[in-house]
Every structure is written in C-alpha cells, then in structure tokens.
Structure 1
Amino acid sequence: MTIDQPLLRRSAPASSQRRSEAEQPLVIIVDDDASVREALSELILSAGFQPVCFASTRELLDADVLDSPGCLILDVRMPGASGLDLQHHLAQRGNPKPIIFLTGHGDIPMTVQAMKAGAVDFLTKPVRDQTLLDAIAAGVERDIKQRARSRVVKEHLSKLALLTPRERQVLRQVAGGRLNKQIAFDLGISEITVKLHRGNVMRKMQLSSVGELVRVWETLPADVRDRVEA
C-alpha cells in the first residue's frame, strides 16, 4: 500500500498542532497523480485539517480510515475502480462519508450522477484554493452533523430495546396521534392499562412530553419504525 506519509509530517498551523490527531478531521485524498496529492495535502494542512493520501480506491479500501471523522476528495477516473464506483460502494455499505469530486475529466452526466448520490460538490481542475477549502469545510460540517445524528439514534434505539412488545405498540400509537381511548379500543385493553404502558414508555425513554416522544419516533430509521409492533 502506498500512502503519502511524508506529507502528514509537515508543519501544520499552531491551532491544528494544539488539537490531538484523533480530534482532527481527516481529509482523505484519492488521486493517482502524485503531484496533485502533494499539492492538495499542502493546502489542506494550511487550513488546519489532516490529509491522508491514496493513489487508488483499492488502497483506500485496504486501509482503516473510512470510519474516521472528515471527508473524501476523489478523482473520477483512476486505475481500477473509479471515484463514482467508490461512492456507490460506500452507499451500499451504509457509510455516508461526505465526498468532494475533483477531476479534470468531468462532464454533466457525471456531475448529475455524483450530486444525486449525495456528493458535497463536483469540482473540475484547476480549482481555486478557496473554492476547494469551502467544499472541504462543508464536507467536514456535514460529517459532524451526521455523526451527531447517528449518536442520537443509537441512544434512542438502546432505550427502545428496553420496552416490552406491548409498550412498543403503545409507543407507535401515541406517536401516530391516537388518544388513550382509541389505543385501548385498537389493542383490546383498558384505558387505565394504556395509561400505565404509556407512563412506562415515557419513563424508559426518558421523555417528558408527547412532543418529545413524537420527535424521537421520527428520528428512528424507517425500517425500525416498520418493525415496531402495529
């Protein structure tokens, strides 16, 4: 595997040096042109981010960096799998890593395909430094928000697992706007029993209002909501 490790050891701004490497977002560059990798690394270091470079998508996939915070800068045409192939691969794996395409071989169909698939931007070489840095900042910010949402969803899922099957039924009904008496009729139980289950749901999910419950329900992945007992 060829990773441009010497580029990572060059001096970074003082503000970046004060942050631990684990906290720094990684800007992962995948381009088969060594001169492009070097120029991009210099620019990225100057902006306080940490660059990691690969000459092909295969090298990237063989490394253990894709789960790190940050974003990707991909060339479109490279030996082996293309940048668009990698974007598709990551989507299939459920990895929403923000991607910036930077290529000298772009066209309108490629741009449309990449943007529809969720790319942060599709830029053509040569590109203004500030334009690329703005795209990187947007990509890193998107990743921060995605990771925050993911943490919240995981927390909600862990609390959902504490509910009994009946409590999950009541949760679904309450989130759907059903009244206690309607839930009691639908489930064939008493209204008092509905209130008991509803109280247990609120306690176990650590919620204080129906509004919070509805917001939590909406954050759950669609496939999870579909599996909750109807």
Structure 2
Amino acid sequence: MNRTADALRITIIDDDQSVRESLLDLLEVLGYSVKTFASAREFLESSSIPDTNCLLLDISMPGMGGVDLNLELKRRAIDIPVVFMTGHAQDAVINEARKAGTCLFKPFASKELRSAIELAVNP
C-alpha cells in the first residue's frame, strides 16, 4: 500500500528535547502528522500506538532504548515500520537496529529522513 505524507502519522521517540522539536517542525513542513515522546515507556503507556504509521526511534535513551522498544512491540504483535536514529557509532547496537529497519546517523539531511520514512512504510 502506497501512503502519502499527509496520510501518515509519524511518532518521534527521543530523550533529547531539541531533537524532538526540530524533527517535529521538519516533518510537519514535509506534510506529516507528528507526535513526540521523551521515552519509550511514555509511548508504550500512551494511546498513540494504533495511530502510528512509522516510528522514529533514538537507539540510545535512558531506560528502554529504541531497539528494545522495537522488540517489545514485536513481542506484543504490534508491527510498526521503524527508522532508527543515533548519534553514536556502537557497532553491535547499530547492527541490531539495521536488522529491524533503517538507521540514520545524526545529524542527517531532510532528504535522507524523508527517504528513510518512505522506504519504511512502502518497502
């Protein structure tokens, strides 16, 4: 199923407020509907899971990181396309993330982000 930007709800989960705010602004300009969360736990406890068409997950966060959140969603039989983000080059974690989806290295260009989202939701 091919989805357009204005039909997609993107959920950003990143512990860095400035990253959440800048991605929110950028994605809204690109035409996406966006929701943000400061932690994986906050997202899991929200009512936003069924409305999310794609997750932008920071790999390294306090508590539950992005890879662990993705595994928890799979355990719950929730299949949401994922784009992982990281500012750290931790080979083992990045390899796990790449097995589950695309991994972008911060900072990344808006074109890279849009392509990663499109690839995630329209494989």
Alignment of structure 1 residues 44-55 onto 2, 5 Å:
44-55=27-38
Instruction: Tell me, yes or no, if the aligned pair for 2:59 and 2:65 is still in contact at 8 Å.
Output: yes
Residue 32 of structure 1 aligns to a residue in which SS? coil
Instruction: Tell me, yes or no, if the aligned pair for 2:28 and 2:34 is still in contact at 8 Å.
Output: yes
1:107 to partner: Cα distance:
2.4
Based on CA coordinates, which of the two structures has the bigger radius of gyration? 1
Alignment of structure 1 residues 98-177 onto 2, 5 Å:
98-116=81-99, 118-119=100-101, 121-142=102-123
Alignment of structure 1 residues 190-229 onto 2, 5 Å:
none
Residue 77 of structure 1 aligns to a residue in which SS? coil
Amino acid at match of 1:31: D
Of the two structures, which has the highest relative contact order with CA contacts closer than 8 Å and spacing of 6 or more? 2
> Structure 2, unaligned stretches of length 5 or more?
none
1:103 to partner: Cα distance:
1.1
Identity value in percent: 36
1:108 to partner: Cα distance:
2.3
- Of 54, 65, 81, which residue of structure 2 is paired with 1:82? 65
1:123 to partner: Cα distance:
0.9
Q: In the alignment, what sits opposite 1:43?
A: 26
Residue 139 of structure 1 aligns to a residue in which SS? helix
- Of 6, 28, 50, which residue of structure 1 is paired with 2:11? 28
Query: Once the two structures are superposed, what CA deviation does each residue of 1:116-174 show, in whole Å capped at 9, x if it has no partner?
Result: 2x21x1111111110011111222324xxxxxxxxxxxxxxxxxxxxxxxxxxxxxxxx
Q: In the alignment, what sits opposite 1:93?
A: 76
Residue 67 of structure 1 aligns to a residue in which SS? helix
Structure 2 distance, partners of 1:69, 1:32, is: 18
Instruction: Tell me, yes or no, if the aligned pair for 1:32 and 1:55 is still in contact at 8 Å.
Output: yes
Amino acid at match of 1:132: L
More strand by share: 2
Residue 81 of structure 1 aligns to a residue in which SS? coil
Structure 2 distance, partners of 1:54, 1:114, is: 19
Residue 94 of structure 1 aligns to a residue in which SS? coil
TM-score norm. by structure 1 comes to: 0.49
Instruction: Tell me, yes or no, if the aligned pair for 1:25 and 1:140 is still in contact at 8 Å.
Output: no
Instruction: Tell me, yes or no, if the aligned pair for 2:11 and 2:52 is still in contact at 8 Å.
Output: no
- The number of residue pairs the alignment matches comes to 119
RMSD of equivalent CA atoms: 1.6
> Structure 1, unaligned stretches of length 5 or more?
1-14, 17-23, 143-230
More helix by share: 1
Amino acid at match of 1:36: V
Instruction: Tell me, yes or no, if the aligned pair for 1:76 and 1:106 is still in contact at 8 Å.
Output: no
Amino acid at match of 2:62: P
Structure 1 distance, partners of 2:18, 2:70, is: 23
Instruction: Tell me, yes or no, if the aligned pair for 2:86 and 2:104 is still in contact at 8 Å.
Output: yes
